[in-house]
Structure 1
Amino acid sequence: MTLAQIRVPEGTTETTQVKTLLAGLEIDGALVTMDAAHTCAATARHLVKDKNADYLMAVKGNREVLYAACKRLASALVSGGQTPHVVTEDDHGRIGTWTTWSTGLPPGAGVKLPHAARLAVIRRDIADLAGRPTSKETVLMVTSRAWMTSADFHTCTRGHWSIENVEHRPRDTVWREDDQQAYLGNGPRNTAALRNLALGVLAVNGITKITETVQRIGRDHDRAAPLLMLT
Protein backbone atom coordinates (compact mmCIF):
# COMPACT_ATOMS: atom_id res chain seq x y z
CA MET A 1 0.00 0.00 0.00
CA THR A 2 1.30 3.47 -0.86
CA LEU A 3 1.64 5.48 2.35
CA ALA A 4 3.27 8.62 0.94
CA GLN A 5 4.21 10.24 -2.32
CA ILE A 6 5.91 13.50 -3.24
CA ARG A 7 6.69 15.33 -6.43
CA VAL A 8 10.34 15.24 -7.50
CA PRO A 9 11.34 18.86 -8.24
CA GLU A 10 12.68 19.63 -11.70
CA GLY A 11 16.44 19.44 -11.92
CA THR A 12 16.72 16.84 -9.15
CA THR A 13 16.34 13.08 -8.84
CA GLU A 14 14.40 10.69 -6.62
CA THR A 15 17.50 10.02 -4.53
CA THR A 16 17.55 13.60 -3.27
CA GLN A 17 13.99 13.40 -1.93
CA VAL A 18 14.26 10.46 0.49
CA LYS A 19 14.34 12.63 3.63
CA THR A 20 11.32 14.61 2.47
CA LEU A 21 9.34 11.48 1.64
CA LEU A 22 10.09 9.80 4.99
CA ALA A 23 9.66 12.92 7.12
CA GLY A 24 6.03 12.18 7.97
CA LEU A 25 6.37 8.42 8.42
CA GLU A 26 7.11 6.57 11.65
CA ILE A 27 9.33 3.67 10.57
CA ASP A 28 11.12 2.93 13.82
CA GLY A 29 12.47 -0.63 13.64
CA ALA A 30 11.36 -1.19 10.04
CA LEU A 31 13.44 -2.77 7.28
CA VAL A 32 13.40 -0.40 4.30
CA THR A 33 14.03 -1.81 0.82
CA MET A 34 14.71 0.26 -2.27
CA ASP A 35 15.84 0.19 -5.89
CA ALA A 36 19.57 0.24 -6.62
CA ALA A 37 19.40 3.94 -7.57
CA HIS A 38 18.91 4.72 -3.87
CA THR A 39 21.96 2.78 -2.71
CA CYS A 40 24.11 5.57 -1.30
CA ALA A 41 25.76 6.64 1.94
CA ALA A 42 23.37 9.52 2.64
CA THR A 43 20.26 7.33 2.51
CA ALA A 44 21.89 4.55 4.53
CA ARG A 45 22.96 7.00 7.23
CA HIS A 46 19.58 8.75 7.36
CA LEU A 47 17.63 5.52 7.75
CA VAL A 48 19.77 4.16 10.58
CA LYS A 49 20.73 7.32 12.49
CA ASP A 50 17.71 9.57 11.97
CA LYS A 51 14.83 7.13 11.45
CA ASN A 52 16.06 4.26 13.68
CA ALA A 53 15.34 1.81 10.87
CA ASP A 54 17.37 -0.71 8.88
CA TYR A 55 18.01 -0.83 5.16
CA LEU A 56 18.26 -3.56 2.53
CA MET A 57 20.02 -2.20 -0.53
CA ALA A 58 20.84 -3.73 -3.90
CA VAL A 59 24.40 -3.09 -5.06
CA LYS A 60 24.88 -2.71 -8.81
CA GLY A 61 27.30 -1.16 -11.26
CA ASN A 62 25.99 2.36 -10.73
CA ARG A 63 28.12 2.37 -7.54
CA GLU A 64 31.37 1.15 -9.05
CA VAL A 65 33.64 1.14 -5.99
CA LEU A 66 31.01 -0.36 -3.69
CA TYR A 67 30.08 -2.95 -6.32
CA ALA A 68 33.70 -3.99 -6.81
CA ALA A 69 34.20 -4.49 -3.07
CA CYS A 70 30.99 -6.49 -2.69
CA LYS A 71 31.77 -8.58 -5.77
CA ARG A 72 35.15 -9.63 -4.35
CA LEU A 73 33.51 -10.73 -1.11
CA ALA A 74 30.70 -12.45 -3.00
CA SER A 75 33.11 -14.57 -5.05
CA ALA A 76 34.82 -15.81 -1.90
CA LEU A 77 31.48 -16.40 -0.21
CA VAL A 78 30.02 -18.55 -3.00
CA SER A 79 33.17 -20.65 -3.32
CA GLY A 80 33.74 -20.91 0.42
CA GLY A 81 31.67 -24.04 1.01
CA GLN A 82 28.79 -22.41 2.89
CA THR A 83 25.49 -24.30 2.62
CA PRO A 84 23.15 -21.85 0.89
CA HIS A 85 19.43 -21.29 1.39
CA VAL A 86 17.64 -22.76 -1.65
CA VAL A 87 14.03 -22.27 -2.74
CA THR A 88 12.58 -23.86 -5.88
CA GLU A 89 9.15 -23.02 -7.29
CA ASP A 90 7.19 -24.27 -10.29
CA ASP A 91 5.02 -21.41 -11.49
CA HIS A 92 3.85 -19.71 -14.70
CA GLY A 93 5.16 -22.53 -16.87
CA ARG A 94 8.72 -22.39 -15.61
CA ILE A 95 10.90 -23.55 -12.74
CA GLY A 96 12.62 -20.90 -10.63
CA THR A 97 15.40 -21.65 -8.16
CA TRP A 98 16.69 -19.00 -5.77
CA THR A 99 20.03 -19.75 -4.06
CA THR A 100 21.18 -17.37 -1.31
CA TRP A 101 24.49 -17.09 0.52
CA SER A 102 25.13 -14.49 3.25
CA THR A 103 27.95 -13.35 5.50
CA GLY A 104 28.80 -10.71 8.07
CA LEU A 105 30.75 -7.58 7.16
CA PRO A 106 33.55 -6.83 9.64
CA PRO A 107 34.95 -3.26 9.71
CA GLY A 108 37.86 -4.17 7.43
CA ALA A 109 35.74 -5.79 4.74
CA GLY A 110 36.04 -2.78 2.43
CA VAL A 111 32.31 -2.19 2.01
CA LYS A 112 32.13 1.56 2.54
CA LEU A 113 28.43 1.95 3.19
CA PRO A 114 27.41 3.39 6.58
CA HIS A 115 26.22 0.75 9.08
CA ALA A 116 26.60 -2.12 6.59
CA ALA A 117 26.43 -5.34 8.62
CA ARG A 118 25.77 -8.21 6.23
CA LEU A 119 26.16 -9.10 2.56
CA ALA A 120 24.13 -11.60 0.54
CA VAL A 121 24.47 -13.13 -2.90
CA ILE A 122 21.20 -14.22 -4.49
CA ARG A 123 21.30 -16.26 -7.70
CA ARG A 124 18.09 -16.81 -9.60
CA ASP A 125 18.10 -19.69 -12.10
CA ILE A 126 15.13 -20.08 -14.45
CA ALA A 127 14.45 -23.27 -16.40
CA ASP A 128 11.59 -24.53 -18.52
CA LEU A 129 9.36 -27.33 -17.29
CA ALA A 130 11.72 -29.88 -18.82
CA GLY A 131 14.52 -28.55 -16.64
CA ARG A 132 16.44 -26.83 -19.44
CA PRO A 133 18.10 -23.59 -18.21
CA THR A 134 16.77 -20.41 -19.82
CA SER A 135 18.28 -17.58 -17.76
CA LYS A 136 20.42 -16.78 -14.74
CA GLU A 137 20.71 -13.60 -12.69
CA THR A 138 22.86 -12.77 -9.68
CA VAL A 139 22.22 -9.86 -7.33
CA LEU A 140 24.21 -8.49 -4.39
CA MET A 141 22.35 -7.20 -1.32
CA VAL A 142 23.68 -5.32 1.71
CA THR A 143 21.81 -4.70 4.95
CA SER A 144 22.37 -2.89 8.22
CA ARG A 145 20.37 -5.54 10.08
CA ALA A 146 23.01 -7.69 11.75
CA TRP A 147 20.75 -10.68 12.41
CA MET A 148 19.57 -11.22 8.83
CA THR A 149 19.88 -14.85 7.74
CA SER A 150 20.11 -16.14 4.19
CA ALA A 151 16.43 -17.08 4.43
CA ASP A 152 15.61 -13.52 5.55
CA PHE A 153 17.53 -12.06 2.61
CA HIS A 154 15.57 -14.29 0.23
CA THR A 155 12.18 -13.41 1.70
CA CYS A 156 12.75 -9.66 1.97
CA THR A 157 14.38 -9.28 -1.45
CA ARG A 158 11.58 -11.15 -3.19
CA GLY A 159 9.10 -9.08 -1.20
CA HIS A 160 10.65 -5.97 -2.69
CA TRP A 161 10.51 -7.43 -6.20
CA SER A 162 6.81 -8.17 -5.70
CA ILE A 163 6.10 -4.43 -5.57
CA GLU A 164 6.31 -4.48 -9.36
CA ASN A 165 3.41 -6.93 -9.52
CA VAL A 166 1.17 -5.42 -6.84
CA GLU A 167 1.62 -1.72 -7.60
CA HIS A 168 3.62 -0.69 -10.67
CA ARG A 169 2.19 -3.30 -13.01
CA PRO A 170 -1.51 -2.68 -12.17
CA ARG A 171 -1.08 1.06 -12.61
CA ASP A 172 0.10 0.43 -16.15
CA THR A 173 -2.09 -2.52 -17.16
CA VAL A 174 -5.35 -1.35 -15.53
CA TRP A 175 -5.09 2.41 -16.06
CA ARG A 176 -2.36 2.44 -18.78
CA GLU A 177 -0.41 5.03 -16.83
CA ASP A 178 2.69 4.77 -19.03
CA ASP A 179 0.63 5.83 -22.05
CA GLN A 180 -0.75 9.00 -20.47
CA GLN A 181 0.18 12.20 -22.28
CA ALA A 182 -0.98 14.75 -19.67
CA TYR A 183 2.04 16.38 -18.05
CA LEU A 184 0.85 19.88 -17.14
CA GLY A 185 0.28 21.24 -13.64
CA ASN A 186 -0.73 18.94 -10.81
CA GLY A 187 -2.77 16.61 -13.02
CA PRO A 188 -0.30 13.71 -13.24
CA ARG A 189 0.49 13.87 -9.52
CA ASN A 190 -3.17 13.98 -8.49
CA THR A 191 -4.11 11.16 -10.85
CA ALA A 192 -1.28 9.02 -9.47
CA ALA A 193 -2.54 9.69 -5.95
CA LEU A 194 -6.04 8.52 -6.89
CA ARG A 195 -4.67 5.35 -8.47
CA ASN A 196 -2.57 4.64 -5.40
CA LEU A 197 -5.63 5.21 -3.21
CA ALA A 198 -7.69 2.80 -5.31
CA LEU A 199 -5.00 0.10 -5.07
CA GLY A 200 -4.82 0.67 -1.31
CA VAL A 201 -8.57 0.23 -0.91
CA LEU A 202 -8.45 -3.02 -2.87
CA ALA A 203 -5.50 -4.25 -0.79
CA VAL A 204 -7.24 -3.49 2.52
CA ASN A 205 -10.24 -5.49 1.32
CA GLY A 206 -8.04 -8.44 0.34
CA ILE A 207 -8.83 -8.15 -3.36
CA THR A 208 -6.20 -9.58 -5.70
CA LYS A 209 -8.16 -9.62 -8.99
CA ILE A 210 -7.55 -5.94 -9.62
CA THR A 211 -8.44 -5.64 -13.32
CA GLU A 212 -11.64 -7.65 -12.93
CA THR A 213 -12.73 -5.60 -9.88
CA VAL A 214 -12.00 -2.23 -11.50
CA GLN A 215 -13.94 -3.23 -14.61
CA ARG A 216 -16.86 -4.41 -12.47
CA ILE A 217 -16.95 -1.11 -10.56
CA GLY A 218 -16.68 0.77 -13.84
CA ARG A 219 -19.99 -0.77 -14.93
CA ASP A 220 -21.69 0.25 -11.67
CA HIS A 221 -19.99 2.80 -9.40
CA ASP A 222 -22.20 1.84 -6.45
CA ARG A 223 -20.20 -1.36 -6.18
CA ALA A 224 -17.33 0.67 -4.76
CA ALA A 225 -19.31 1.75 -1.70
CA PRO A 226 -18.93 -1.48 0.32
CA LEU A 227 -15.15 -1.33 -0.17
CA LEU A 228 -14.99 2.12 1.42
CA MET A 229 -17.12 1.29 4.48
CA LEU A 230 -14.27 0.19 6.76
CA THR A 231 -14.37 0.13 10.56
Structure 2
Amino acid sequence: MEDKQAHYIALIKANHLTLHRMLKALPWRELPLLDKTQATAHGRDEIRRMKTATIDSLPFPYAVQALQIVRRRVVATGKVTLERLYAITGLAAEQADPAEIAHRVREYRGIEIKLHHVRDVTYGEGASHMRTGTAPRVMAALRNLAIGALRLTGHTNIAAALRHRARDITRPLTALGIT
Protein backbone atom coordinates (compact mmCIF):
# COMPACT_ATOMS: atom_id res chain seq x y z
CA MET A 1 0.00 0.00 0.00
CA GLU A 2 2.80 2.37 0.87
CA ASP A 3 4.70 1.95 -2.40
CA LYS A 4 1.49 2.33 -4.46
CA GLN A 5 0.33 5.43 -2.56
CA ALA A 6 -3.04 3.69 -2.09
CA HIS A 7 -5.54 4.35 0.67
CA TYR A 8 -8.51 2.47 2.05
CA ILE A 9 -11.62 2.84 4.16
CA ALA A 10 -12.65 -0.41 5.83
CA LEU A 11 -15.98 -0.85 7.59
CA ILE A 12 -15.43 -2.91 10.72
CA LYS A 13 -18.40 -5.08 11.54
CA ALA A 14 -19.17 -6.72 14.86
CA ASN A 15 -17.87 -10.09 13.63
CA HIS A 16 -14.35 -8.61 13.87
CA LEU A 17 -14.64 -8.78 17.65
CA THR A 18 -11.36 -7.32 18.87
CA LEU A 19 -11.09 -4.48 16.38
CA HIS A 20 -14.79 -3.60 16.68
CA ARG A 21 -14.52 -3.47 20.49
CA MET A 22 -11.43 -1.27 20.29
CA LEU A 23 -13.19 1.17 17.96
CA LYS A 24 -16.36 1.19 20.04
CA ALA A 25 -14.33 1.95 23.17
CA LEU A 26 -12.82 5.16 21.78
CA PRO A 27 -14.03 8.35 23.53
CA TRP A 28 -16.61 9.24 20.84
CA ARG A 29 -18.74 11.40 23.14
CA GLU A 30 -15.81 13.75 23.69
CA LEU A 31 -15.06 14.20 19.98
CA PRO A 32 -16.69 16.92 17.88
CA LEU A 33 -19.21 16.20 15.13
CA LEU A 34 -17.38 16.69 11.83
CA ASP A 35 -19.97 15.87 9.18
CA LYS A 36 -23.75 15.75 9.07
CA THR A 37 -25.85 14.93 6.03
CA GLN A 38 -29.58 14.57 5.65
CA ALA A 39 -31.41 12.78 2.85
CA THR A 40 -34.90 11.62 2.01
CA ALA A 41 -35.28 8.57 -0.22
CA HIS A 42 -37.16 5.28 -0.44
CA GLY A 43 -39.84 6.45 1.98
CA ARG A 44 -37.48 7.33 4.80
CA ASP A 45 -35.61 10.31 6.19
CA GLU A 46 -32.01 9.65 7.11
CA ILE A 47 -29.50 11.71 9.04
CA ARG A 48 -25.86 10.61 9.06
CA ARG A 49 -23.38 12.00 11.57
CA MET A 50 -19.68 11.29 11.47
CA LYS A 51 -16.86 11.71 13.93
CA THR A 52 -13.21 10.84 13.39
CA ALA A 53 -10.33 10.11 15.72
CA THR A 54 -6.63 9.99 14.93
CA ILE A 55 -5.25 6.62 15.99
CA ASP A 56 -1.85 5.01 16.21
CA SER A 57 -2.30 1.78 18.12
CA LEU A 58 -4.79 -0.33 16.18
CA PRO A 59 -3.69 -3.76 14.99
CA PHE A 60 -4.44 -2.89 11.35
CA PRO A 61 -1.81 -1.94 8.76
CA TYR A 62 -1.45 1.76 8.00
CA ALA A 63 -4.61 2.79 9.91
CA VAL A 64 -4.41 6.46 10.89
CA GLN A 65 -8.05 7.41 11.53
CA ALA A 66 -11.04 5.74 13.10
CA LEU A 67 -14.57 6.72 12.10
CA GLN A 68 -17.90 6.51 13.84
CA ILE A 69 -20.95 6.99 11.64
CA VAL A 70 -24.35 7.20 13.29
CA ARG A 71 -27.32 6.76 10.98
CA ARG A 72 -30.76 7.78 12.23
CA ARG A 73 -33.65 6.70 10.01
CA VAL A 74 -37.31 7.59 10.23
CA VAL A 75 -39.57 5.52 7.99
CA ALA A 76 -43.04 6.53 6.78
CA THR A 77 -44.69 4.70 9.70
CA GLY A 78 -42.75 6.89 12.14
CA LYS A 79 -40.45 4.10 13.34
CA VAL A 80 -36.96 5.40 14.21
CA THR A 81 -33.84 3.26 13.92
CA LEU A 82 -30.31 4.12 14.99
CA GLU A 83 -27.25 2.36 13.61
CA ARG A 84 -23.62 2.91 14.59
CA LEU A 85 -20.96 1.98 12.06
CA TYR A 86 -17.25 1.92 12.75
CA ALA A 87 -14.52 2.17 10.15
CA ILE A 88 -10.81 2.73 9.82
CA THR A 89 -8.88 4.44 7.07
CA GLY A 90 -5.36 4.99 5.89
CA LEU A 91 -6.33 8.55 4.92
CA ALA A 92 -4.95 11.20 7.23
CA ALA A 93 -7.15 14.17 8.17
CA GLU A 94 -5.26 16.46 5.80
CA GLN A 95 -5.69 14.03 2.86
CA ALA A 96 -9.49 13.93 2.90
CA ASP A 97 -11.95 16.07 4.80
CA PRO A 98 -14.82 14.46 6.74
CA ALA A 99 -17.34 15.18 3.95
CA GLU A 100 -15.12 13.37 1.42
CA ILE A 101 -14.68 10.37 3.72
CA ALA A 102 -18.45 10.23 4.38
CA HIS A 103 -19.05 10.31 0.61
CA ARG A 104 -16.61 7.43 0.07
CA VAL A 105 -18.31 5.35 2.79
CA ARG A 106 -21.72 5.91 1.14
CA GLU A 107 -20.25 4.85 -2.22
CA TYR A 108 -18.88 1.68 -0.64
CA ARG A 109 -22.26 0.87 0.90
CA GLY A 110 -23.81 1.28 -2.55
CA ILE A 111 -21.35 -1.22 -4.00
CA GLU A 112 -21.98 -3.58 -1.10
CA ILE A 113 -25.71 -3.45 -1.75
CA LYS A 114 -25.26 -3.92 -5.50
CA LEU A 115 -23.11 -7.02 -5.08
CA HIS A 116 -23.54 -8.64 -1.67
CA HIS A 117 -27.28 -8.05 -1.43
CA VAL A 118 -27.76 -9.61 -4.88
CA ARG A 119 -25.58 -12.57 -3.92
CA ASP A 120 -27.46 -13.08 -0.68
CA VAL A 121 -31.03 -12.48 -1.87
CA THR A 122 -31.05 -13.49 -5.54
CA TYR A 123 -28.62 -16.38 -5.25
CA GLY A 124 -29.49 -17.34 -1.67
CA GLU A 125 -25.80 -17.44 -0.75
CA GLY A 126 -26.51 -17.26 2.99
CA ALA A 127 -28.57 -20.46 2.80
CA SER A 128 -25.88 -22.37 0.90
CA HIS A 129 -24.81 -25.67 2.44
CA MET A 130 -21.35 -25.59 0.86
CA ARG A 131 -18.99 -25.25 3.77
CA THR A 132 -15.87 -27.30 3.04
CA GLY A 133 -12.68 -26.69 1.18
CA THR A 134 -12.63 -24.00 -1.47
CA ALA A 135 -16.19 -24.64 -2.65
CA PRO A 136 -17.68 -21.51 -0.97
CA ARG A 137 -15.01 -19.25 -2.52
CA VAL A 138 -15.37 -20.85 -5.95
CA MET A 139 -19.15 -20.42 -5.88
CA ALA A 140 -18.83 -16.79 -4.71
CA ALA A 141 -16.40 -16.13 -7.58
CA LEU A 142 -18.80 -17.72 -10.09
CA ARG A 143 -21.69 -15.67 -8.73
CA ASN A 144 -19.59 -12.50 -8.98
CA LEU A 145 -18.69 -13.43 -12.56
CA ALA A 146 -22.34 -13.94 -13.48
CA ILE A 147 -23.41 -10.67 -11.83
CA GLY A 148 -20.59 -8.78 -13.54
CA ALA A 149 -21.42 -10.28 -16.95
CA LEU A 150 -25.09 -9.35 -16.55
CA ARG A 151 -24.23 -5.80 -15.48
CA LEU A 152 -21.85 -5.42 -18.43
CA THR A 153 -24.71 -6.32 -20.77
CA GLY A 154 -26.81 -3.52 -19.26
CA HIS A 155 -28.97 -5.39 -16.75
CA THR A 156 -29.79 -3.65 -13.48
CA ASN A 157 -32.29 -6.23 -12.19
CA ILE A 158 -30.17 -9.37 -11.80
CA ALA A 159 -33.09 -11.60 -10.75
CA ALA A 160 -35.09 -10.68 -13.88
CA ALA A 161 -32.00 -11.16 -16.07
CA LEU A 162 -31.40 -14.63 -14.60
CA ARG A 163 -35.01 -15.64 -15.21
CA HIS A 164 -34.77 -14.39 -18.81
CA ARG A 165 -31.50 -16.23 -19.46
CA ALA A 166 -32.77 -19.45 -17.85
CA ARG A 167 -35.60 -19.79 -20.38
CA ASP A 168 -33.23 -20.47 -23.27
CA ILE A 169 -29.99 -22.38 -22.87
CA THR A 170 -28.21 -20.35 -25.60
CA ARG A 171 -28.95 -16.89 -24.10
CA PRO A 172 -26.12 -16.86 -21.53
CA LEU A 173 -23.56 -17.77 -24.18
CA THR A 174 -24.96 -15.22 -26.66
CA ALA A 175 -24.82 -12.50 -24.00
CA LEU A 176 -21.12 -13.24 -23.51
CA GLY A 177 -20.47 -13.28 -27.27
CA ILE A 178 -19.49 -16.95 -27.24
CA THR A 179 -21.96 -18.20 -29.89
TM range (shorter): 0.7 to 0.9
- Aligned counterpart for 1:75 among listed residues 25, 29, 43: 29
The Cα offsets for residues 131-181 of structure 1, whole Å up to 9 and x where unpaired, read as x46111223333211212112221222233234422222223222223333
- Aligned counterpart for 1:96 among listed residues 13, 23, 46: 46
Q: Identify unmatched segments of 5+ residues in structure 1.
A: 1-47
Q: Which one has a larger percent helix, Structure 1 or Structure 2?
A: 1
> C-alpha root-mean-square deviation of aligned residues, in Å?
3.1
Q: TM-score, normalised by structure 1?
A: 0.60
- Aligned counterpart for 2:72 among listed residues 125, 130, 136: 125
Taking a change above 3 Å as real, the CA distance of residues 150 and 58 of structure 1, as seen in their structure-2 partners, is same
- Asked if structure 1 preserves the Cα contact closer than 8 Å seen for 2:24 and 2:86, the reply is no
The offset of 1:225, in angstroms, is 4.1
- 1:219 aligned onto 2:171: no
Taking a change above 3 Å as real, the CA distance of residues 101 and 188 of structure 1, as seen in their structure-2 partners, is closer
Whole-angstrom distance in 2 between the partners of 1:185 and 1:121: 36
Taking a change above 3 Å as real, the CA distance of residues 100 and 189 of structure 1, as seen in their structure-2 partners, is closer
Letter in 1 for 2:46: G
- Asked if structure 2 preserves the Cα contact closer than 8 Å seen for 1:121 and 1:141, the reply is yes
Letter in 2 for 1:198: A
* 1:12-31 map, 5 Å: none
Q: Identify unmatched segments of 5+ residues in structure 2.
A: none
The offset of 1:199, in angstroms, is 0.8
- Asked if structure 2 preserves the Cα contact closer than 8 Å seen for 1:66 and 1:111, the reply is no
Specify the SS of the correspondent of 1:53: coil
- Asked if structure 2 preserves the Cα contact closer than 8 Å seen for 1:54 and 1:144, the reply is yes
The offset of 1:200, in angstroms, is 1.1
Whole-angstrom distance in 2 between the partners of 1:187 and 1:101: 40
- Aligned counterpart for 2:57 among listed residues 108, 112, 124: 112
Whole-angstrom distance in 2 between the partners of 1:206 and 1:76: 48
Whole-angstrom distance in 2 between the partners of 1:175 and 1:68: 33
- Aligned counterpart for 2:90 among listed residues 132, 140, 144: 144
Stretch moving more, 210-219 or 170-179: 170-179
Whole-angstrom distance in 1 between the partners of 2:139 and 2:68: 38
Equivalenced residues, count: 171
Q: TM-score, normalised by structure 2?
A: 0.74
Taking a change above 3 Å as real, the CA distance of residues 88 and 68 of structure 1, as seen in their structure-2 partners, is closer
Whole-angstrom distance in 1 between the partners of 2:22 and 2:103: 24
